[in-house]
Amino acid sequence: MECVMGRSNNGRCVLSGKKGLRRRLTGAFLALMTAFLCTGCGEKVEDDRTGAPTELIWWTYTPDGNAPDDLEKVLEAANRISAERIGVTVKMIYKTTEQFELDQTTGEYYDMTFSCDWCNNFDVNAGRGYYYDISELVKTEAPELYSSVDPWWETGTLKGRIYGVPMLKDLGAEVFFRLNSDYFETEKGLTLPEEMSFGELEPLLKAWKEDNPGDYPFYISKGGVAGLFQVHERIVGNYLVIPYSKAGTSEGTRIIPVFDDEEYVGMLRKMHEWYEAGYINPDAAAVEEVPYSIKCPVRTGTAWTGFKGWSDRETIGFNVKLVRFIGPNMSRSTQQGSLIAINAAASEEKAKACLKYMQLMYTDRKFRDTLAYGIEGEHFDYYKDTVIRTAAGTEHYMQDAFVTGPAISASVVSAGKDDTADPEQWDKVYEGYKNARISDTQGFSFDPAPVEAEIAALDAIWSSYASELVTGTLDTDETIKLMRGQMEKAGLEKVQEEAQRQLDEYLEKFR
């Protein structure tokens, strides 16, 4: 700060002096420049005063740029607990994907940050050295944290060093249809199974369409069917993949263009058939989102077995049943759904405080529930060892559990008193992962640096046609032919070879 003041004084003095205009302007220019440089690097962390709790700056994720309304109130309650237990408080700052990118790049200061596979990319940032190496520190400073996360540390490890603490939640991808059970089961007398294939949805769509010819049973937005891609592990962008269907075979480590994943393309062809049949809304490729005001009988999403989060009858308007059609499939990217990493620029004291804080998240359920669901009695109530949100909670303190820490150490959420969740839900989910199709890539992550230009060109082509491909708007095979042709000209094969080379090299060490 001091140097900024000094310079601007100087600037004023030069302006009122009798030197030439050019010199005055140069002075002003320099002053401004220095001011810029200083604000850029001037954000030093203040040393803690003795006795006062250490305050940590914690960046976390928000999809829409807003923090929950009641954040301040809730954080005050959470800070009271953490200050008393470990002498640490936090200041949470909510950021969108774009804000994370920008603030990481400009070197804004934080102590710990949300990081994952699809936002504030963990592998990329850890690879660049942005995150604190906690390999030893976590064992000595937070042994309980270490044992709570065990055996999943590989998720936060890059090149043999630990850079992030996994915030454990669902680790495998399971994709569900959320079906209107009032209509399909009560009215039509069908029985919805726990699990079905994608194609088995067709008779349900047909039945609805016959009863409501003017409506679209499968109302989707330009992103297509949420989670449909979870049949393969994405290696580069959305277009170089390894299908889970090949896991365990000789092709389990062969990277292919997404167009060659028969399971996926088969589902896209079905989508086009359904589009032509009028099951899918004709403007799907141009629609940004499907609001709850559209009462469509079929929605999809990624969740986990036993999840009750989309089942609130009052919000949706009818009773629903979740039917799984993909998964569980597991790879590094599905496991990296949520981590907390510590800033490489943080002092050792701050890093220790961060680890202590995360340890508290994992070991103190009351504290964890406060962060996740708000204040007991105001935002939520306990019922049969689960949490039921109040109206105030739904309205003013609603966010995904992973935003505020590990999901498995928080109480599970019930849809209502007559629709309670299984408090032991997570044990069962993790038990289910024993049957998961697990990728053979052993936690490989692709380093895009050598082919960045090609990837930018490929991303542009992909994003040009993706919405019409994944919504079934255009003929699947023709669109794929077009995309493949353009992408090959832009260097798809070069990127594929580079990725394969990196993967083979990485896998050497496991042989």
Partner 1 sequence: MKRGKKKNRRIRGKNRSLILLSMPSLIWYILFCYLPVVGIILAFKRYRLIPGKGFFYSLINGSEWVGFENFRFLFLNPEIGKVIRNTLLYNMAFLILGTVIPVMLAVGISYIHSGRIRRFVQISLLLPYFLSWIIVSYSVYAFLSYDRGVVNSVLGSMGIQGFRFYQSPSLWPFILCAVNVWKSSGYMMMLYYARLMAIDTELFDAAAVDGASNFKVIRYIILPELKNVILVMTLLNLGNILSTDFGLFYQVTRNSGSLLSTTETIDVFIYKALMEKSNYGFSAAASLIQNGIGCIILVTANRLLKKNGGGGAAL
Residues that bind partner 1 (CB under 8 A): 21, 25, 28-29, 32-33, 36-37, 39-41, 101-102, 104-107, 109, 128-130, 222, 281-283, 285-286, 343-345, 452-454, 456-457, 459-461, 463-469, 473-474, 486, 489-491
Q: How far is the CB of 214 from partner 1 (least distance, A)?
A: 9
- The CA distance from 195 to 303, in Å, is 13
Nearer to partner 1, 416 or 491 (CB): 491
Query: What is the number of other CB atoms lying within 10 angstroms of the CB of residue 93?
Result: 16
Q: How far is the CB of 194 from partner 1 (least distance, A)?
A: 35
How distant is the alpha carbon of residue 51 from its chain centre? Answer: 37
Q: How far is the CB of 237 from partner 1 (least distance, A)?
A: 8
Q: How far is the CB of 510 from partner 1 (least distance, A)?
A: 30
Q: How far is the CB of 479 from partner 1 (least distance, A)?
A: 8
Q: What element of type H or E holds 204?
A: helix 202-211
Which of 25, 84, 41, 147 has the alpha carbon at shortest distance from 366?
84
Question: Residues near 438 by Cβ (< 8 Å), separated by ≥ 6?
Answer: 247, 329, 330, 331
Nearer to partner 1, 38 or 207 (CB): 38
Nearer to partner 1, 11 or 297 (CB): 11
Torsion of CA 185, 187, 189, 192, to 10 degrees: -20
Q: Which residue has the tokens 């907390």?
A: 340
Nearer to partner 1, 203 or 282 (CB): 282
Nearer to partner 1, 268 or 388 (CB): 268
Query: Between 365-373 and 348-363, two packed helices, what is the crossing angle to 10 degrees?
Result: 100
Q: How far is the CB of 16 from partner 1 (least distance, A)?
A: 10
Nearer to partner 1, 6 or 129 (CB): 129
Q: How far is the CB of 345 from partner 1 (least distance, A)?
A: 3
Amino acid, res. 188: K
- The CA distance from 228 to 26, in Å, is 59
Nearer to partner 1, 52 or 460 (CB): 460
Q: What element of type H or E holds 8?
A: helix 2-16
- The CA distance from 486 to 493, in Å, is 12
- 450 within 8 A of 421, measured Cβ to Cβ: no
